[in-house]
Amino acid sequence: MSKSLTRNLSPAELESFGAEIEALRARTVADLGVRDARYIRNIFKAVRWTEVIGRAALMIGAFLPMPWLIGFWIVGALSLALSKILDNMELGHNVIHGQFDWMGDPKFQGKSFEWDIVGTSDNWRKTHNFRHHTYTNIHGLDDDIGYGLLRLFPEQKWQPLALIQPIVAVFFALFFQWGVAIQNLPKGGYFGKHGRAARRELKLAGRKISHQLIKDYLIFPALAGPGFLVVLTGNLVANMLRNVWTYTIIFCGHFTTEVETFHRNVLKNETRAHWYWRQIRGSSNLAGGFVLNTLSGNLSHQIEHHLFPDVPANRYVEMAPVVRDICRRYGVHYNTGSLPKQFGQVIWRILRHSFPSRPRRAAVASLQG
């Protein structure tokens, strides 16, 4: 739908392109082993220790005089935010994808892992693992296009409420985990044919939300006694920092100016090679080093994640140069850039499409061109 920077491939070229991508996946999966298991276990430890440090700093700081209280509060809030970011991005997101099922360790099984956000992992598996990764950037099928709140592409119908979406976008960033929590909840029909299933899903969501709210905003603050507000505000800030970071990384991977979206007719006779081609055209990477890769859950390699969602994300840094070379040889645009550059493009989309806009005439309506 967006103007393509990728040339159309002949059927033979497309199948050859897909075969090279598939071969890379096969080589990587065959090489998985001890270092990958060690990596995710170290991430698990980092999540736990940064949480302990963060909560302890907030608790201790609550009983100290100024300016010690402020110093401990800052350390506590930042450490807890780091724990929540790692849990959300590098641990939860990747484990829930089943990237480490091959280990056979119950702690890292994708179908049973639960993470530290108000949304349930089961809900995420439906909206993200299935719908988003199957129908990436297809209008009417991928609910992640604007999340039902933002108009980011001209193919989305403009409504007057879009005029305030720059403000909506700020609040969405601050409370992003809540968008994840309610994304797949039934919008009605609690007493109809499928009412029982709808009520069950709502009950599970309510239970998870209650657990998170009680833990962060009641139990831990209450343990601080007279320091209740110190701990509560630290937890609130930690959650918001995690939300803003997650929002930033996800939006940079999906909504930069060169990302393409598609009409649902792309699914007609779509082969695996076509699917690979669509994933690359609908994604964008972030250029950075180890710190950015780790804090983003390696979604700094969003292209590789869309190609290989069930491959351990710590391998993306090795796979990326190979994918980029394959794209170069076949004339497939590989969208990458710095975090400021890519997020600037996201902001441009939010601002531009808050006003009426039309798709370009040269828009690509299908993968077949």
What is the DSSP annotation of 285-335? EE---HHHHHHTTTGGGHHHHHH-TTS-GGGHHHHHHHHHHHHHHHT----
HSE toward the beta carbon, residue 100, CA cutoff 13 A: 27
Q: pLDDT grade, residue 200 (50/70/90)?
A: confident
Q: Give the pLDDT mean for 105-132.
A: 93
266 to 101, 137, 151, 269: CA distances (angstroms): 31, 11, 21, 8
Q: Give the pLDDT mean for 122-131.
A: 91
Residue 5 is given by DSSP the state S
The C-alpha atoms of residue 217 and residue 73 are separated, in whole angstroms, by 16
Q: pLDDT grade, residue 369 (50/70/90)?
A: very low
108, two tokens: 């890292």
CA end-to-end distance (rounded Å), the chain: 10
pLDDT at 188 over 80: no
Kindly state the percentage of the chain with pLDDT values over 70. Answer: 93
Q: pLDDT grade, residue 366 (50/70/90)?
A: very low
Q: Give the pLDDT mean for 178-199.
A: 71
Q: Give the pLDDT mean for 81-87.
A: 98
Kindly state the percentage of the chain with pLDDT values over 90. Answer: 85
pTM: 0.92
HSE toward the beta carbon, residue 4, CA cutoff 13 A: 21
pLDDT at 114 over 70: yes
Q: Which strand (E) or helix (H) includes residue 336?
A: strand 336-337
pLDDT at 228 over 70: yes
Identify the CA nearest to 66 among candidates 227, 296, 293.
227
Between 235 and 190, name the one with better pLDDT: 235
Range of lowest pLDDT (74-78, 189-193, 236-240): 189-193
Q: pLDDT grade, residue 182 (50/70/90)?
A: confident
Q: With contact defined as beta carbons under 8 Å apart, do 258 and 334 qualify? A: no
Can you give the pLDDT at residue 39? 98
Q: pLDDT grade, residue 135 (50/70/90)?
A: very high
Q: Give the pLDDT mean for 105-118.
A: 95
- Per DSSP bridges, beta strands 336-337 and 285-286 are parallel
Q: Give the pLDDT mean for 63-87.
A: 97
The C-alpha atoms of residue 255 and residue 261 are separated, in whole angstroms, by 10
Q: Give the pLDDT mean for 265-278.
A: 95
Amino acid at residue number 215: K
134, two tokens: 């199957």
pLDDT per position as a tens digit, 291-348: 999 999 999 999 999 999 999 999 999 999 999 999 999 999 999 999 999 999 999 9
Can you give the pLDDT at residue 191? 59
Can you give the pLDDT at residue 7? 84
- Average pLDDT over the chain, rounded to an integer: 92
Q: pLDDT grade, residue 3 (50/70/90)?
A: low
Q: pLDDT grade, residue 189 (50/70/90)?
A: low
Q: pLDDT grade, residue 139 (50/70/90)?
A: very high
Q: With contact defined as beta carbons under 8 Å apart, do 48 and 84 qualify? A: no
Q: pLDDT grade, residue 180 (50/70/90)?
A: confident
pLDDT at 240 over 60: yes
The C-alpha atoms of residue 363 and residue 4 are separated, in whole angstroms, by 7
Between 201 and 40, name the one with better pLDDT: 40
Can you give the pLDDT at residue 203? 86
Q: pLDDT grade, residue 199 (50/70/90)?
A: confident
Amino acid at residue number 29: V
Place of tokens 């794209």: 327
